[in-house]
Amino acid sequence: MIRNDNTYLLMIEPESESVPIQDVWTRRAMQLLFMLKIGKRYRGMHTCSCGATSEPFDLITPQGRITHSLVAHYIECHRDDVTQAELVKLYAEIMNCSRQHALENMNTPQS
Ligand SMILES: [Zn+2]
């Protein structure tokens, strides 16, 4: 199911496959995975065109977007299918996490 409005993040169905790209986008997408909360559960899982499978549930980003466990896989292995609009949403999520992390560190008493 492809959903590209602002409620969703990387709900795409990649058709091309590239050499895995390990760059700042991939690292940050992997970091974002640790910030996601489990959303709606399903009986089955989504299978990528390359055979990779997702977890059988949605994941919710810190900004409330719905995504899935293949988010970093798509950035790493299917970059050509990721639109600029999806990268902008990913960037917004990453910046939000960085800002939250910075604020939490500011509020932590230094010993
Ligand atoms: Zn894949």
pLDDT digits (tens, 9 = 90+) for 18-76: 899 999 999 999 999 999 999 999 988 889 999 999 999 999 999 999 999 999 999 99
The residues placing their C-beta within 5 Å of ligand 1, an ion, are 48, 50, 52
3 state SS of 104: helix
The pLDDT value recorded for residue 111 is 61
The pLDDT value recorded for residue 80 is 94
The pLDDT value recorded for residue 63 is 94
Separation of 18 CA from ligand 1 center, angstroms? 9
| Helical segments of 1-111, H only | 24-33, 71-77, 84-107
Q: Say if residue 110's pLDDT is above 70.
A: no
Q: Say if residue 109's pLDDT is above 80.
A: no
Q: How many CB atoms lie within 10 A of CB 107?
A: 7
The pLDDT value recorded for residue 1 is 74
The pLDDT value recorded for residue 42 is 92
Retrieve residue 40's tokens: 């709606």
Separation of 57 CA from ligand 1 center, angstroms? 17
The pLDDT value recorded for residue 102 is 76
The pLDDT value recorded for residue 23 is 95
Separation of 48 CA from ligand 1 center, angstroms? 5
Separation of 77 CA from ligand 1 center, angstroms? 6
The pLDDT value recorded for residue 57 is 96
Separation of 49 CA from ligand 1 center, angstroms? 6
Retrieve residue 90's tokens: 């990913």
Separation of 16 CA from ligand 1 center, angstroms? 9
Separation of 29 CA from ligand 1 center, angstroms? 15
